[in-house]
Amino acid sequence: MILFFIQFSLLFNPFLTNALESSEECKNKDLKDFAGDVGYGVHAMTSQDISFFFGYDLGEENFAPTMNLNLTQENKVLDHAPSFQSSFRFPTARKLDLVMLHSDEGDKFYQVGATYKEKLNAMYYSLERLHKASKIYKEMIKLPTETFENECACIRGEQTNLEIKAFLLELSEIMRGLYPKPKSDGTREPPKVDDPFFSIFKAKEERCQKPGLQTQLKQLCSEMPPELKDSKSWAIWKAMKRNGYNDNAQQRLALYFYCKGKDKNILPQVNDKGDFISIDQKFM
């Protein structure tokens, strides 16, 4: 049985297998990368997503900070994942509902320069990350709670939360100048000096060149995809998203939700089918 625990732990990335136990060690690059993976995973999350994927029915009194998708508001980072009431129960339909309800707002919602199809694509991609993390998380909660105590001790401090919020702030700034609007032929190119978008895009480019920028943000900075509108453009977007998959990121996201639940003594139970059985989930 002990051997199984060790083998299970080794499925995770070096952040988990090389536990960082002292507060000083937890301030190193691993913690910043951890915060980036978690921040990217939760950036568009709602309280209903937390309930569906991680079994915590906490409403808006949850522990996951997120990016404010309303780009007109001054507070760019929210302390808690907001609730989004929808008549749909399944996450993909809920995200469709969310994006389409804001589809007339253009650059005021989520990503500047992105079409509503591209925003949907980003939302669906975020759900894929949550789904992968949820599968790992459900395996973790089947193990004795002391199994990952060293890892939880490392990310338990306020510094982790501050790093996640710092990442979300950087992400929000980049989202405000993410893409130039597509031309009539569907292509995109950097805006010219006389373009009203030029100053916004330039600010994003300068931010993207900051030293120490996390890998997740660097990938966004390098993207200049064509407009997502047909099978040809979808092939490019699909490859771009596939290349962005990082198993370590899903493992770190799973660890974050596991440790938060463990510390609050609210870890749910999972049956043999992988379904949560200890809470009354409320999606409506």
Give which of 128, 158, 154, 187 is closest to 15, Cα–Cα: 154
Structural domain includes residue 28? yes
This prediction's pTM: 0.85
Asked if 44 contacts 80 with a C-beta cutoff of 8 angstroms, the reply is no
Amino acid letter at 65? P
**Residue-number span of the structural domain to which 25 is assigned:** 21-263
Measured N-to-C along each axis, helices 116-140 and 47-54 cross at an angle, to the nearest 10 degrees, of 40
What mean pLDDT is predicted for residues 183-199?
A: 86
Top mean-pLDDT range of 45-59, 228-242, 267-281: 45-59
Which of 66-70, 162-166, 188-192 has the weakest average pLDDT? Answer: 188-192
pLDDT value at position 3?
32
Decide if pLDDT at 200 tops 60: yes
Determine the pLDDT at residue 278: 57
Query: Residue 197's pLDDT is what?
Result: 79
- Whether residue 2 lies inside any domain: the answer is no
Task: Give the pLDDT of residue 281.
Answer: 45
Is residue 278 situated within a structural domain?
no
Is 3 contained in some domain? no
Q: Does 5 map to a domain?
A: no
Q: Label residue 202 by pLDDT band (50, 70, 90).
A: confident
pLDDT band at 54 (very low <50, low <70, confident <90, very high): very high
pLDDT band at 227 (very low <50, low <70, confident <90, very high): very high
Let me know if residue 8 belongs to a domain. no
Residue 227 lies in a domain: yes
How many domains is the chain built from? 1
